[in-house]
Structure 1
Amino acid sequence: MEVDFLLIGQGLAGTVLSHRLLQLGKKVAVIDLPSANQSSRIAAGLYNPITGKKMVKTWNADLLFPEIEPLYSELEELLGTTFLYRKNIYRPFLNIEEQNEWMGKTGEPGFEPYFEKIFSKEVYPEAVNPFGGILLKNSGYLDINTLLSAYSAFLKNNNLLLEEKFEEDFLEVLEGGFNYQGLYAKGIVYCNGLGAMKSRYFSFLPFAPVKGEILDLVQDFYPEEIINRGVFRISLPNGNQRVGSTYTWHDLDQGPTENAKNELLEKLEKLVPAPVHSIQNHRYGIRPATKDRKPFLGEHPAVSGVYIFNGFGAKGVSLIPFYSKMMVEMLLNGDQPEKEVNIDRIKKHNSNF
């Protein structure tokens, strides 16, 4: 079998990048072991243009957000299933000062695409929002697990998926390409999250793994909007609510923790104090975040044809549609990714190169 590109990993990064390459008529193969995709498969999939305690536009929002819904809608049509949920996000104000600040900010240039409405009074009696809140648009969530499963089936049906663990020791560098156990590729792209940390090619990159945990639970309050303050709370199609997420750089042990569960429940009570009738699920994932919180795009500094498309952390749903287009331009035309995400920013300060 001969392909243009062999992609390692069919998490969200590998899924979107392989789709873009296939749409352009390129031959690809993907190596993936689904049980290794815990980061993508566990992620809540939220995309939110206004984030942080200071409620600022997320990094590069004006570039990222026009790409999100068209790309995932295209994949829904291709796969014949639903996994993109367009939802407004309601973010309560903490005090009257914050309310006044955002009343003024809505008129500033650049914010209009993300504001639906400002409320100066309580919207939901079930939630803690005495000062009202802001309703955001161009937001929602992606059911990543459904997307990955449907796309995996698509790859299998087209004989493009090798469902096995990638063994880098079997990768042979040839003149003008690579041989992996009889599969010949002109280029290889590492989309395998934290697996790239163990690669002989990309172990020099400063990943900063972050553990996140989420809960699926039952409360009587079932708003159409996502409620987000301290934690996010998503009403799921099955009638449950999803609450998340924790962030820890220290406790990377495998498995969900009681501490994280209690943290989420305490923050939820401050947002929506209705009784929690039951917890249906408690899951965790280790996100492939980076020290500077910017993804890794680029070609290995010493071995031609070895690339990385990785390090998207907790915002992969928002980042990957835009940066996959940039990565395709590099793979097909040799165009260098912008400095902020190019691995050149790392290798220039690394003594190994």
Structure 2
Amino acid sequence: MRVDYLIVGAGIAGSVLADHLLKAGKEVMVVDDATKSNSSKVAGGLYNPITGRQMVKTWNCDRLFDYLIPYYKGLETELKTNFLFDTPIYRPFFSIEEQNEWMAKSAENQYSSYIKEIKSKPEWTNEVSNPYGGLLLSKSGYLDTSVFLEAFKDKLRRSKKLIKSDFDFPQLKKLTEGYSFEGVTAKRIIFCDGRFGVDNPYFSWLPFSLVKGELLFMKSDVSPRVIYNRGVFVIPLGNGFMKCGSTYEHNELNELPTKKAKDELIQRVEKLINFDFEVIDQKAGVRPATKDRKPFIGEHPVEKGIWIFNGLGTKGVSLAPFYAKQLVEHMEDDQPLDAEVNIERFFSLF
């Protein structure tokens, strides 16, 4: 079988990229081993325009968010499945000074489209601790990553575009034009292999900085009306079920949930919310983060036809659509890649 692109990995990055290539009229085959760990399956899935303790706009916010919401909504319609939940995020203020600062920012064009409302007094006090009020955001919510990935994988299966296999590098053969793998001949190979990029013989020289994250799943008699997010996120899943996270661990890089992370998350959640809850499950995954917290996108410096789309870290849901589109336009129409994500910035390490 001959295809234009062979994609290795069917997490958020690989799935979104495959979709963009298919929509561009390209022949695509995806290789994925469902038994291997995949941080996309256990991701919080949050897309949040205002992030961090300092509450600043997420990097490249305007370009990302103008594209990601209509993109996922269109894919929902195509796949006849619901996985994008457009839900306001409420971020309590830490002080009167912070409240005043955001009152001023709300009038600025760069923030106004992301602010649904400024709460100057405590709100929803039976649910959340917010003595100074808080910031209610729009253009925010979460992607149910498990539902999305399974729905897209079903599409690939039905169209016979999925190889269920671990990617065995010795089986990849270089041809005069392109590469072959398990009976598939492809012009280009794109590695979207997440945390396994650190062991990829073509791209292990890139400065990955893997980080383990853990999530709790909780149940309560209270059903939060919005996503609460300050120091920890609490995402309402309906009927009193919630997902909260996340932790950041750089040393013990495995998928085993820990008591330490559970205790840490419970402590943070109890500071944020004002209702009782029960922990019913805990999950862990290893995210493919990078040293400079920007994705790795581009072609190998020597092995032409070998590409990478990886390193999306904790913001894969937000980053994948825009940069998949940009990568396709780069490969097919010779449009430039953003210098901040192009792996050329690390060619000196090769």
Within 5 Å, give how 1:57-136 maps onto structure 2: 57-126=57-126, 127-136=128-137
Aligned residues: 349
Q: Give distance in 1, aligned partners of 2:108 and 2:37.
A: 41
Superposition deviation, residue 37 in structure 1 = 4.5
1:317 aligns with 2:317: yes
Q: Is this contact kept in 2: 1:11–1:37, CA < 8 A?
A: no
**In structure 2, distance between residues paired with 1:168 and 1:113:** 47
Report how far residue 198 of structure 1 moved: 1.3
SS of aligned partner of 2:238: coil
12-21 or 249-258, which deviates more = 249-258
SS in 2 for 1:263: helix
1:27 alignment partner in structure 2:
27
- Partners of 1:100 and 1:70 in 2: CA distance: 33
Could you say which residue in structure 1 is the equivalent of 2:172?
Answer: 171
| Bigger shift: residues 104-113 or 81-90 | 104-113
Is contact 2:210–2:287 with CA below 8 Å preserved after alignment? yes
**Secondary structure in 1 matching 2:326:** helix
The C-alpha deviation readout for 1:57-96, integer Å capped at 9, x for no partner, is 0000011101111111121112111000000001111111
1:184 alignment partner in structure 2: 185
Is the partner of 2:121 in helix, strand or coil?
A: coil
Give the superposition deviation at 1:238: 4.6
Q: Give structure 2 stretches of 5+ with no counterpart.
A: none
The one-letter code matched in structure 2 to 1:172 is: K
1:284 and 2:284 aligned? yes
Is the counterpart of residue 222 in structure 1 residue 223 in structure 2?
Answer: yes
Letter in 2 for 1:95: S
Amino acid at match of 2:213: G
1:211 is the counterpart of 2:212: yes
Task: Report the alpha carbon displacement of residue 273 of structure 1 after superposing the two structures with TM.
Answer: 3.3
Displacement of 1:36: 2.2
Question: How many Å separate the matches in 2 of 1:67 and 1:36?
Answer: 30
1:30-49 pair list within 5 angstroms: 30-49=30-49
Secondary structure, aligned partner of 1:320: helix
**Using the alignment, how far apart are the partners of 1:207 and 1:221 within structure 2?**
40
Q: 2: CA distance between counterparts of 1:119 and 1:145? A: 33
Q: For 1:223 and 1:275, how far apart are their aligned partners in 2?
A: 12
Contact 1:10 1:37 in 2 (8 A): no
* RMSD of Structure 2 on Structure 1 (CA): 1.1
Letter in 1 for 2:248: Y
> What secondary structure, in the 3-state scheme, does the structure 2 residue paired with 1:110 have?
helix
Aligned to 2:267: 266
For residues 326 and 332 of structure 2, what CA distance do their matches in structure 1 show?
10
Distance in 2 of aligned mates of 1:181 and 1:137: 46
Deviation at 1:263, TM superposition (A): 0.4
5+ residue gaps, structure 1: none
Equivalent in the alignment of 2:296: 296
Query: 1:128-167, aligned counterparts within 5 Å?
Result: 128-167=129-168
Deviation at 1:241, TM superposition (A): 0.9
The alpha carbon displacement at 1:274 in A equals: 1.8
CA distance in 2, matches of 1:210, 1:80: 33
Deviation at 1:335, TM superposition (A): 3.1
Deviation string, structure 1 residues 171-211 (Cα, Å, up to 9, x no partner) = 00111100112110010000111222212110111110010
- Over 3 Å off, 4+ runs: none
* TM-score after normalising by structure 2: 0.97
Distance change (3 Å), C-alpha of 1:326 and 1:193: same
- The alignment partner of 1:111 has SS state of helix
Q: SS in structure 2 opposite 1:283?
A: strand
